[in-house]
Amino acid sequence: MAKTKTTYFCQNCGYESAKWLGKCPSCNEWNTFVEELVEPAKARVPDWRTASGPAAKRTNKASRIQEIAHREETRYVTPDDELNRVLGGGIVPGSLVLIGGEPGIGKSTLMLQLALSMPGAKVLYISGEESEQQLKMRAERLMQSPKAECFILTETSTQNIFKQMDAIAPQLVIIDSIQTLHSAQIDSAPGSVSQVRECTAELLRFAKETAIPVFIVGHITKDGAIAGPKVLEHMVDTVLQFEGDRHHVYRILRAIKNRFGSAAELGIYEMQGSGLREVSNPSEILLSQREDNMSGIAIAVLLEGVRPMLIEVQALVGTSAYGTPQRSSTGFDTRRMNMLLAVLEKRFGFRLSAQDVFLNMAGGLRVEDPAIDLAVITAIISSQQDIPVPATTAFAGEVGLSGEIRAVNRIEQRIAEAEKLGFETIYISKYNVKGLSTAKYQIAIKPVSRVEEVFQAVFG
């Protein structure tokens, strides 16, 4: 009889140890180790069905790379254009997609909408958290006639789930959520590191051998990372993050990892009583409708993947009431904001070291495009000098440490987006003008090379 192996796992990062440790050497968290029983390797079933299944009969042989035939990936195009964009053009057969997000953000709603809207497809929605009646009520609240043949299964055992998959033969499988599943191969509680890893491995084998795409919903920790071992994100093909504030109506679907497309794409939804609505023009929600010109506001033109959009940058500069000034930013890297403040003080003489600076990206968007630098420093100086920036002026440029304005990529798309939304002037780097045909644009293009040129033109 094989001896049962006992192992300690960190419930935060999945680090494995032969003995209990107070502090995890991997993630430095305290009191996260839990003892788990691990089944001996020879007692485990190698295939997701049986030991005599298709995996036991198949043998792979090495092939020269020149002999491998190239095939275009066929994708299932969903009615959700935002999801198609984030996935890289649609769902790839046999792919394993992990979607994470905070509780109540709308992950289950998004997945149920997908299950109900796939035209002519057979979809199996597996829920370990809600009953059939709860899912039926949610589907009725979405108020859309099912275009797919949607089956609901409330089960947590992977063995029973695979039996139902064999009986139904679905074209798409949705698991909600991976932390509720448990496999008989592992003698641990559902949600533990061993169970999450084993259940994901079984689903991965199922997806690759049957070419059926599988969506997995995952919980996140208090730090915002997907709960479970870090290897979970390495095993899947695509990792999506569903973000947003539960007190606001807009949700952002962001690709963190994508083996079949770009990992820089973004999808925006609006949460309504009848479900999630796609936002095809995000610039409209990221620009506030204000009647009077207010100081501390500048419009930046940024790119998320291949999608150009305009966002309102809001800054507030005031005298510090304490010895140490406050530096706070929402949706923008605080360290980069401190770098831009240092540039303004060192190169241009603005005394900001004794003033509080607050920065906010409107709409709850988190921005990483360096082209927003020029709008950030313009909004900061506008607030400090209490001089409003013209509402029809946009900015697209990266600011260097010496105060120069560096070129940004895809400037034609940025200019066209600003012109489409009715802006009259856009400031760009003069190094972007080379090869740019300015005659085809109605918007006034202002090429600049230094920050002081922008300040003189905007503030006088």
The answer to whether 363 is a known ligand-binding residue is no
Q: Where are the beta strands (DSSP E) in 233-389?
A: 238-244, 250-258, 266-272, 275-278, 297-304, 307-319, 327-330, 355-361
Q: Any known ligand binding at 323? A: no
The answer to whether the annotation marks 434 as part of a ligand binding site is no
- CB–CB of 136/116 below 8 Å? no
428 is in an annotated binding site: no
Closest residue by Cα to residue 297 from 365, 392, 371: 392
101 known ligand binder: yes
Hey, what long-range contacts does 273-278 have (CB within 8 A, 24 or more apart)? 273/141, 274/141, 274/142, 274/143, 274/144, 275/109, 275/113, 275/141, 275/142, 275/143, 275/144, 276/106, 276/109, 276/110, 276/113, 276/251, 278/80, 278/81, 278/82
Are 391 and 423 in contact, with CB atoms under 8 Å apart?
Answer: no
Is 103 annotated in some ligand binding site? Answer: yes
| Local structure of 135: helix, strand or coil | helix
Residue 191 marked in a binding site: no
Other C-beta atoms within 10 Å of 159: how many?
A: 15
Q: What are the tokens at 207?
A: 């997806």
C-beta of residue 255 within 8 angstroms of C-beta of residue 262: yes
Instruction: Encode burial over 401-437: b for 16+ CB neighbours within 10 A, e otherwise.
Output: eebbbbbbeebeebbbbbbebebebbbbbbebeeeee
Tokens linked to 61 = 């042989």
Nearest to 389 by CA among 303, 300, 282, 285: 300
Smallest CA-to-CA distance from 153 within 162, 163, 142, 161 is with: 161
Q: Binding site annotation covers 163?
A: no
Binding-site residue numbers for ATP are 101-108
The binding site consists of 101-108
